[in-house]
Amino acid sequence: MASVVQKATRHGMSLHGLGVICGLTAGVWLGAAEAPTKLVNAGLSPFAVSLCMVAGVFTARWTFPTLLKGTSYVFADLMEKKHLIVWALLAGALWAVANTLTVFAIRDVGLAIAFPLWNANSLIGLFWGRVLFKELAGASPANIGKVVLGGVAIVIAAIMLGFSTLHGDTTMAQHAGRGILAAIGASFMWGTMYVPYRKAYISGMNPLSFVTAFTVGELGTVFALTLALDGGLHSPSFNLFHHHGLVFWLFLGGFVWVIGDLFQQFAAKYLGIGRGIPLSNTNQLWGLAWGALVFGELAGADSRHRLLVLGGSVIMILGALAIGTAVASAREHTSQNEAVLRECERYGLDYNRTLASQAGDEFGDRSERRRWWDYAIVSAATGVFLWLGVRAVVPPLNMNLMWIGVLGVLLFVSLVIGGWSLWRRTKFC
């Protein structure tokens, strides 16, 4: 069987290059997904925001895998690796807790401070990747330096960009400690969540299959958190679903987040969590763009804050460039294949088929035929968004509509580039 590197060359695009494209595309979409959570500043409960966003995530997550591969494909993949279903549910639970903590953090210290704090998850993911999956084992000192320093640079840049939006606002000082702890907790939750990601992908599971089980864990956990901590069945969070004009925007945030996360999943598959997650965490740059250009967070900023924006942006770009050029050597690929072999021996998987799946090559006789219920799922999900959309009202926030249009176009362009690259190279495998 040809090696992973040989397969990549044969298809005309390296897996490393594909992973970099996916990671950067994820950053564009994940940065945009946090904008709707600013509705928490309009007086909504953090549990309500989280529950509605996750409901949107749930709806979108079932739509994309069904649309791209069909449920027959997805469930056949899940049944081949039943042990990974538990890991996917665990990852979903970790995500749900982290997402709820981020909403608390945004409420108490604002998006500008909370965002860079929870984006430190990339360093936690880098640690777990090295300890549990031997990522960077066999890498050259130059590549290790690029990945580690690039990841650190992205976190430092995120902090600089976050503080660039602080200029004299002391209204949240009362609960600053609580908000910072919430953001740090989210960072640890998300950093650990990448462990199930990597475990699934070195076992050959398709990201589209993984997220299907993942979403059950996240929706169930958010629902349980709301029942346990926000008033049970009488929680005001459930009343928010009657406010269709606001619910649409939170569902839309979940929809945008799903697209970003799918690209993040593919980046983690083809680059590993040590490289893929820091690249997707360039979302801070795009989050700042939405905050500054759409919501006016830099209005009235002095030269010192503008210098933070410029410096943070440059450092983040350099960090992403360092990681993007850290192409794995043959020795590192050998170490990765040994990690795959350990998983195969532990769970009785076919080693050659698993390696083929890691190269983006489909294997087996898995059908992608669409069934009638596939069309019903897509139609129902589309109907939910349309029903909420026609009842939507403009949120009670000051927004620049021109910049919403510009950033929306950039979202679409990144989706076309990332989606076309994945389809051309792997057919979304």
Q: Residue 170: what pLDDT? A: 46
- For residues 362 and 429, the answer to whether their CB atoms sit within 8 Å is yes
Return the amino acid letter for 84: L
Q: Which residues contact 355 (CB under 8 A, 6 or more apart)?
A: 1, 4, 337, 340
- For residues 288 and 406, the answer to whether their CB atoms sit within 8 Å is no
Q: Residue 367: what pLDDT? A: 59
Token digits of residue 403: 């910049």
Q: Residue 197: what pLDDT? A: 87
Q: Residue 9: what pLDDT? A: 47
CA dihedral (201, 141, 121, 175) in degrees, to 10, reads: 180
Q: How many helices (H) and strands (E) does the chain have?
A: 19, 0
Task: Give the span between the Cα atoms of 238 and 292, in whole angstroms.
Answer: 32
User: CB-hemisphere CA count at 13 Å for 387?
Assistant: 10
For the chain, what are the domain ranges? 4-426
Q: Residue 363: what pLDDT? A: 52
> Over its length of 429 residues, how does the chain's per-residue pLDDT go in tens digits?
444 444 444 455 688 899 999 999 999 999 888 777 665 555 667 777 778 888 888 888 778 788 888 888 888 888 888 889 999 999 999 988 887 888 788 777 776 677 677 778 888 888 888 888 888 888 888 999 999 998 888 888 877 776 766 655 444 445 677 888 888 888 899 889 989 988 888 888 888 888 888 888 888 888 888 888 777 777 777 776 666 677 888 888 888 888 998 899 899 889 888 888 889 888 878 887 887 888 877 777 778 877 888 888 888 889 888 998 888 888 888 888 888 888 888 888 888 888 887 776 665 555 567 788 888 888 888 888 888 888 877 766 778 889 989 999 999 999 999 999 998 888 887
- For residues 75 and 368, the answer to whether their CB atoms sit within 8 Å is no
Kindly state the helix (H) or strand (E) to which residue 172 belongs, with its residue range.
Answer: none
Task: Give the span between the Cα atoms of 375 and 134, in whole angstroms.
Answer: 42
DSSP sequence for 272-313:
-HHHHHHHHTTHHHHHHHIIIIIS-TTTT--HHHHHHHHHHH
- For residues 77 and 209, the answer to whether their CB atoms sit within 8 Å is yes
Could you give the angle at which helices 207-229 and 83-109 cross, rounded to 10 degrees? Answer: 50
